[in-house]
Amino acid sequence: MTSINSSFDWVTSSREGSLSMRNSEDENFYGKYHILTKNQPFLVLLIFMSCVVGALLRTFLKEWNVPIIIILCFIGVLLGVLGYFVNEVKALTEYIAGIDPVLFLHIFTPVIIFTAAFEMDFYIVRKSLFQILLLSVPGFLLNCTLIGWLTYKINKYDWNWHVSMLFGIILSATDPILSVASVKNIGLSKIVINLIKGESLFNDATTVIVFELYKDLVFGHHTEYVKEVIIKLILKFFASTIFGFLSSRLIIYWLSHIFNDGLTEVILSFSMTYMIFFIAEWIGMSGVISLTVLGILLDSVSFSPGVDEFIFRFWAMLTFLAYVLIFIIIGIVIAVKTFPYVTVRDLFYILTVYLALNLIRGLVVLFLSPLLSRLGYGFNWRWGTVIVWSGMRGTFTLNMALEISHAKDPGTRAMKSMILLHAGTASLMTLMINSTTVKKLVTTLGLCNITLPKRMAMYNAVQRIKEMEANTFSMLKLDRFLADANWTMTEEAIKIDYPYKFDIEEVSQIVRTLKCPDCNKEISYETTPQQIADILEEARLRLLTAQIASYQKQYHAGMLNQEAAQTLIGAAESYVDIKGKFMNIHEVKTYWESKGLLVSFKKLLSDWVYSVKDEKFKSSRNKILKLCHQIVFMEEFEYISHIVTLLNFVPILMDFMPYLSELYRNQLKISNYYFIGLYILEASLKVVAMGRTYIFHHWNCFDLVIIIIALIDIMIINVFKPLHRTDHMIKIVRIFRVIRLIRLLRVLKLVIPHLISLLEKQINKQLTFRYDIAKGYVQGEEDTKYLIEQIAGHETISKEINKIMEKNKQDAMKELGLMQRDYPDIVTAVKTKQAVQTVLNTATETLKVLISGGIVDKNEGEKIQKMIFEKKKNIGTLPCTIAPPTAEELLHSISWLENEKTQIEFIQKKARLLCYDYGDVICEEHEMPQGIHLIISGMTKLCGSSPCYGIDKDIYEQRYPTTLIYTDYLVSGAIIGELNCLTKQEMEYTVTCETAVQTCFISMDDLFEAFDKFLECPSLEYKIWLKLALDITFKTFKENLAYQDWSYKMCTKFPNVYVMDVPTHSKCDIYDGTMDDVILVHGSVQDCQQLQPYFAPCILPKTCHQVQGTAAVTKLLIVRTATSVKRKSSRRCSNVCQYHSSMRRQATVGNTVKTDGSNQHSLRPDADTDVLTPGQSISVSVL
């Protein structure tokens, strides 16, 4: 035991000795157990601890009206004070307090400037630009001058005029983020918010420039100060703006070539922001102005669909972290550098400076208000009050004060500390007082009052949410897993209160507007014209919001390109502040209308190259002349001509160089004769080969001019050579030497065809852009049409908006039809790309469902997704022009003829081609249909009453009263009269030709003969009914369930749908467990249990289980459940076809076809006219 102990003592002592030796040699560690490490980067710990504290404060003080950054600043001050007592903390705080102002500027400024500019509305900024510039340049100069003068007069620090002016410049800068942080989400007008933010951004840019120039003036040494100032102003203002614009173009071009890579786009936006700021500052420009221009020109649509939200969140996070670190650092700097010099008297000056800032800012805005009221969106005293009180001091004020505190030249250390102290306290005072009270000020001034129309709209929204909650609540009670839930507690927990309070009169108005107390139906109350105007204006604003949402949705779905989406969104936003103005296609056209320069230039070049007088000539029988003809029209001959022109460029260039011209005078003279001889030889061969037609070609005339000038040049040189040279002779020779350069224009023979090709591509892009805008506008009108009743909240308003939007939509449809007529190949290409995009979007949605359901592994899904993305990327490589489909191709593309060779051949034999002129009537309202027309080319206008879908007209008008005349435009690929032929009912509209139109006509006799011939399942008649039923169903879903996207759902349900016929007085069971939805697409039915009538088109409720047909022709579209047993197609089809076959045998159909005003071409093989055979193609245009 003793030996063991002694051994242990030896080991212990030896280990302690080795540890003592290590401690003596290595000072990186300290502590009893040699664990704690010395020289750790505690600055990193402080940075991330600051972020943690900021996150905690944001979590716990989110509902409090206390700026978090004030608390962070006080935490920084406490750390600085703690450094006076703890040496370890002092080393850290002094290191932070010594931060380089240039580093401070380059770290934090780009984030704040870009975020503020990126959030601004380009179109509002564009209109209010002069107001912003007036506030930020003259307003700033007045502001800083008055502050400097007041400081110079009342301060007790013995500051001279220059220091006082620098102090005024520092305190005149406002922060673009902090100034609007308290008012941007309380309902204040976007105009005022953009005005405040824009003034702050350009104010900061002006501040930095003026601060730098004035500091150099006071403390620098210059020999040519005026010249230097002019150069700096040009660089800071004009060059910076151009640099920002070019940078935005570069980034947008780069982003357009990044396909669906959000991470790369975020990294690009982050890195390019800092690089642009650094480069601008490095070469003497203003990084603030460059980033401001960049941020304003970029928007959410500049990035790939779906990335925009992440971009906003990313920059919002960076901005929050930047402010956390800024105010922690400034708190430490103030505590370390100013506390030794602070006295009680300084507290009085702090309050005086704060009051002076607001007073002087108010006086400046008041002085400029007469001019502001005449610019942009106008101006009023309420806006001015908010702008004055929103002038928060922040980053730039603190940065310039920090720069003064680090400067070596100006003033004493106490003076620098006082500037830093007052700048920091002014920033804190504006945040503590202005920022916390500006919301109350805006409310008091009535700038964010919630008007009665807004309250009504909110009431409608809450009512709808409550209805959906009640429906969900009732359905959940049927869930066997939730049957024993505490429904009383659940009902209490889901109650939603109205966000706005109403007085008794407003409540009565709203209730009377929405529900009748007796029958619970929606009614309208008597309103004053002013109330109607207010409600209409509120509905207009919400409609514009819905249109913007539709354009963004189309862009995310790939149906709108980036430029078209930006244009439509910007156009809609520009209408927000134009009271009573609805977005219409005639004003949207101004965004796409070309100035005509490219088209005119292309026409000029094409006329020069290709427009030649018609003069036919034949090759001569003479062997020599025939040989010349063959030589001239060989491609090699043209190539040799171009080479000769390029070679001639060398001696002409040498002739302009004095040394070479003198050295090689004879050689240049001989080469000149040589090339003129070649030109004469070329012209002679062409004259011999082409004869009289030679002179009709523009290039040949140009060649003759060159030859004549060259000969005159030779004559003048030879005439003047023996004579005594005078000044006039030398000038004449020099003039002709310059004229020789015209020979080089012969190269344009080679360049112009390529230039025409490039111009054509650019024009095609413009036309594609034009079509995209019109198509996106029409789709936006379609999407918002179904929301009008919910947006309007008033019957009168709903009718008025419906009337306006229907007219706008029809005007846009007409524009689309005219583009279809004028540029069929471009429109066909756009439609082809949109079709590909739509199908690939469906593939993407399907893949998401498979991955979320666990059917496809995530890694496998990524491989499939990559292939789909590659296909989407290849859409951009599709040609800009595609030949429109022929008549045969259009027949093959009809959904009820697709892939049915026998049926297509039958229709081809029976069909006739009819040609109509502009203004011709294809069919008239109230006449019996003669057949169906497939439009091959041109555009038609439908005008009459709305389709009744098999309902008696009196009943339909009673249920859907409207004063609007039904109007629509159809273009190539559309079919006229399908439903009327199937039901043998009179036409409900008149079809007029808006352009020259060609149609493929199939008479009713031939159509019904096809029905009787093709009875195999699915029969031809059944397929037509299915096509019509799907079209009606999709419109019905969009109208009744406007908040849901039914495009993908209908694609998934398409294989599980069929059409069911319900004969008159026959009963039919529905919702028997095998049906998801039942849609009445034609006719009317009655609920056999509740005797409730239903009229097409409508979605039958799931409480209805048996219906009885009450119309002559009643059709239901059944959407089966995915797990239901498929019905036999033969049984379903045969019932439908036998029923209608019996009806057809009892009916008499006219054999005549209306052909007034049209030219007929039979498609029958036995007719001596044009026959539409599989090998024949007819030029058409397709929308």
Q: What is the pLDDT of residue 23?
A: 45
* Positions in the chain whose pLDDT score sits under 70: 1-40, 219-223, 409-411, 449-457, 500-528, 531, 591-600, 602, 607-621, 719-731, 733-734, 736-737, 793-794, 956-964, 1040-1054, 1122-1183
Q: Judge whether 1127 and 1074 are in contact, CB under 8 Å.
A: no
Three-state SS for 514-572 is HCCCCCCCCCCCCCCHHHHHHHHHHHHHHHHHHHHHHHHHHHHCCCCCHHHHHHHHHHH
Q: Please state the length of the chain.
A: 1183
End-to-end CA distance of the chain: 104
Q: What is the pLDDT of residue 32?
A: 54
Structure tokens, 1111: 């119309």
- 593 vs 587: CA distance, rounded Å: 10
Under DSSP, the state recorded for 1102 is T
- 1089 vs 1103: CA distance, rounded Å: 10
Which three-class secondary structure state does DSSP give residue 881?
coil
- 1038 vs 1029: CA distance, rounded Å: 14
Checking 685-691 for CB contacts under 8 A at 24+ apart, the result is 685/628, 685/631, 685/632, 686/632, 688/625, 688/628, 689/625, 689/628, 689/629, 689/631, 689/632, 689/633, 690/617, 690/629, 690/632, 691/617
Q: Which of 1019, 1017, 1011, 1051 is nearest to 1034 (CA)?
A: 1051
Host H or E run for residue 1068: strand 1067-1069
pLDDT tens for 429-478 read: 998 888 888 888 888 888 876 666 666 667 777 777 887 778 777 777 77
- 431 vs 410: CA distance, rounded Å: 29
Q: Which residues contact 577 (CB under 8 A, 6 or more apart)?
A: 124, 189, 190, 191, 377
What's the whole-model pTM score?
0.73
- 413 vs 428: CA distance, rounded Å: 23
Q: Judge whether 428 and 73 are in contact, CB under 8 Å.
A: yes
Under DSSP, the state recorded for 239 is I
Please report how many Cα atoms fall inside a 13 Å half-sphere around the Cα of residue 514, on the Cβ side: 20
Which three-class secondary structure state does DSSP give residue 890?
helix
Q: What is the pLDDT of residue 1124?
A: 54
Task: Give the sheet arrangement for strand 997-1003, strand by strand.
Answer: 975-976, 931-937, 997-1003, 912-916, 1158-1162
Following CA atoms 801, 807, 808, 812 in sequence, which dihedral angle do they give, to the nearest 10 degrees?
Answer: 150
Which three-class secondary structure state does DSSP give residue 244?
helix
CA 570, 576, 577, 582 torsion-angle sign: positive
486: left (phi over 0), alpha (psi -120 to 50) or beta: beta
In Å, what is the CA distance from 904 to each residue of 889, 901, 1020, 1143, 1176?
Answer: 11, 5, 11, 25, 14
In order, the DSSP letters of 347-412 are HHHHHHHHHHHHHHHHHHHHHHHHHHTTSTT---HHHHHHHHHT----HHHHHHHHHHHH-SSSS-
Structure tokens, 995: 């352009």
